[in-house]
Amino acid sequence: MTNQVATPLYNKLSAAFESRNAADLTPLREAAFAKFKAKGFPSVKEEDWRFTSLVPYLDVDFSVTAEAAGDAGIQQAVDAAAIEGLEAYRLVVVNGRIHSGLSVLPEPDEMHIGPLQEVINTDAFRAHFEAEDHTGGNSFTQLNTAFFTDGVYIEVPKNVSIEKPVHIIHVNTASVPTLFHPRQVIVVNRSAGAVFLETSVSLHPKQAMFFNNVLQVIVKENGECTHYRIQDNAPGERWVHHTQVTQHRTSRYSNYTFSLPGADLIRNNLELKLDGTATESHLYGLYLAAGNQLTDNHTAIEHIHPACQSTEHYKGVLLDNARAVFNGKVFVQREAQQTNAYQQNNNLLISDKATVYAKPQLEIFADDVKCSHGCTIGQFNNESLFYLQSRGIGEESARKLLVEAFMFDVTDKIEHEPIREHLQELIHQKMTAAMAAGA
């Protein structure tokens, strides 16, 4: 236990781990917990956590065991989570467990959906899972591996392409501050295609909650996966999201991460391993941060083989005392000739008390590549503001219009129109609320 700050939490975690039933204590979990214990939670001494001190976010007497969920309130929460105009399947996950009763799922031959716990020890799963698992190096993922319950396993069979998005609604029912470890694995097999949208909802918002979520996505040869995540969370919530994607040759993966004001802390680790030639990846992010929120996006794209293409565009708007971190790593290994990697990060500071730390980080070891990156931090353009006002548009509406305009080149990339409209509406609402609170 090297990190003194959260000692009571460590003790609680150790006790909880030891008291698990024997069937749960697989070698995988034991090894993971041992690693976690050796290193502890990350501290600001680690480069990747330099600007994000976890101390204030972990300093809560969290429960470390999930309570059993009753059904009260879940139905309404799930209905409210539906996105207007979006025809989608619905996968309801309550405290990390699939809720079949409320889910509306594709046929099993179109998509296998079940508890991860059920398959994790089968040879078939391990044959490709363990080989694809690169989560070992990170304290949070180790902790997740040690503790996740049930989990979600989704597999799209080869050659099956499902147009209709699967909306995964994560419902959290905890009524006391809890440290949670949800886990999901998605496998899109050869020449298969699927679209996922993740949102989450808490039945008891405004209490301290810590989510340590891990998602692994594997897109096999020539497969295609589009993945949206809307982080519209409640105050008090702290989220550490580890999303790890492995792409095989000629596969396509698009990630859209939208972080809105609400949660106290959002830390997203999005790691792409391009494990085959001629893959295509798109990472789009929007972060709108307000209040005392801290939103931290760490992305890493590893180009290993030739002719892979990655584009990344993250845009942030910061209000009030909000802080944001953007760290975009792109590695291009020696073998990865004809890589095409483009990265862009733009930030708009609306308040002079807001802060952003932005760091593009390109490490290129191949010579025949096209890589570019750009990073801007700016404020409102007063000329634009004056122009809008000079046409009769009030200052507040003008500011909102300019924020929406700033985000436009990312929102415009959303292929599913109802999702785009939903997001634009959310941005509008959050801006209005933040400005009203700030005024």
Q: Would you call 143 helix, strand, or coil by DSSP?
A: helix
Mask: binding to other proteins, 214-233, rule CB under 8 A, as x and -?
Answer: --------------------
Span interacting with other proteins, options 82-90, 326-334, 396-404, 414-422, rule CB under 8 A:
396-404
Q: Considering the complex, state which of residue 71 and residue 395 has its C-beta at the smaller distance from other proteins.
A: 395
**Residues 95, 86: Cα–Cα separation, whole Å:** 24
Q: Considering the complex, state which of residue 21 and residue 382 has its C-beta at the smaller distance from other proteins.
A: 382
Binding of residue 348 to other proteins (CB under 8 A):
no
Subset of residues 241 to 270 that bind other proteins, contact rule: CB under 8 A = none
Q: Considering the complex, state which of residue 48 and residue 404 has its C-beta at the smaller distance from other proteins.
A: 404
Under 8 Å between Cβ of 64 and 179:
yes
CB of 311 to other proteins, least distance (A): 18
Under 8 Å between Cβ of 276 and 269:
no
Under 8 Å between Cβ of 321 and 352:
no
Query: How far is CA 277 from each of CA 26, 194, 368, rounded to the nearest angstrom?
Result: 35, 21, 15
Q: Considering the complex, state which of residue 27 and residue 392 has its C-beta at the smaller distance from other proteins.
A: 392
CB of 424 to other proteins, least distance (A): 11
Q: Would you call 275 helix, strand, or coil by DSSP?
A: coil
Q: Would you call 32 helix, strand, or coil by DSSP?
A: helix
CB of 190 to other proteins, least distance (A): 39
CB of 251 to other proteins, least distance (A): 31
CB of 345 to other proteins, least distance (A): 17
Binding of residue 352 to other proteins (CB under 8 A):
no
Which pair of structure tokens corresponds to residue 246? 């492995």
Q: Considering the complex, state which of residue 365 and residue 386 has its C-beta at the smaller distance from other proteins.
A: 386
Q: Considering the complex, state which of residue 176 and residue 405 has its C-beta at the smaller distance from other proteins.
A: 405
Under 8 Å between Cβ of 237 and 207:
no
Span interacting with other proteins, options 99-107, 352-360, 405-413, 427-435, rule CB under 8 A:
405-413
Binding of residue 405 to other proteins (CB under 8 A):
yes
Q: Considering the complex, state which of residue 185 and residue 410 has its C-beta at the smaller distance from other proteins.
A: 410
Q: Considering the complex, state which of residue 336 and residue 414 has its C-beta at the smaller distance from other proteins.
A: 414
CB of 343 to other proteins, least distance (A): 20
Mask: binding to other proteins, 407-426, rule CB under 8 A, as x and -?
Answer: xxx-----------------
Binding of residue 24 to other proteins (CB under 8 A):
no
Binding of residue 401 to other proteins (CB under 8 A):
yes
CB of 392 to other proteins, least distance (A): 4
Under 8 Å between Cβ of 147 and 178:
no
Q: Considering the complex, state which of residue 33 and residue 406 has its C-beta at the smaller distance from other proteins.
A: 406
**Cβ atoms < 10 Å from Cβ of 426:** 16
Under 8 Å between Cβ of 148 and 242:
no
Angle at 66 between CA 62 and CA 68, to 5 degrees: 140
Torsion of CA 187, 193, 195, 198, to 10 degrees: 0
Say how far residue 286 (Cα) sits from the centre of its chain: 12
Q: Name the helix (H) or strand (E) containing 141.
A: helix 139-147
CB of 299 to other proteins, least distance (A): 23
**Residues 306, 354: Cα–Cα separation, whole Å:** 41
Q: Which residue has 């931290």 as its token pair?
A: 296
Mask: binding to other proteins, 356-395, rule CB under 8 A, as x and -?
Answer: -------------------------xxxx-xxxxxxxxxx
CB of 430 to other proteins, least distance (A): 17
Q: Which of 48, 110, 404, 421 binds other proteins (CB under 8 A)?
A: 404
- The residues with which 270 forms a beta bridge, in sequence order, are 243, 299
Under 8 Å between Cβ of 274 and 301:
yes
**Residues 150, 111: Cα–Cα separation, whole Å:** 18
DSSP 190: T
Q: Considering the complex, state which of residue 357 and residue 380 has its C-beta at the smaller distance from other proteins.
A: 380
Which pair of structure tokens corresponds to residue 325? 């971190």
Q: Considering the complex, state which of residue 175 and residue 381 has its C-beta at the smaller distance from other proteins.
A: 381
CB of 390 to other proteins, least distance (A): 5
Count of positions on this chain that bind other proteins (CB under 8 A)? 24
Under 8 Å between Cβ of 302 and 328:
no
Q: Which residues bind other proteins (CB under 8 A)?
A: 381-384, 386-395, 397-398, 401-402, 404-409
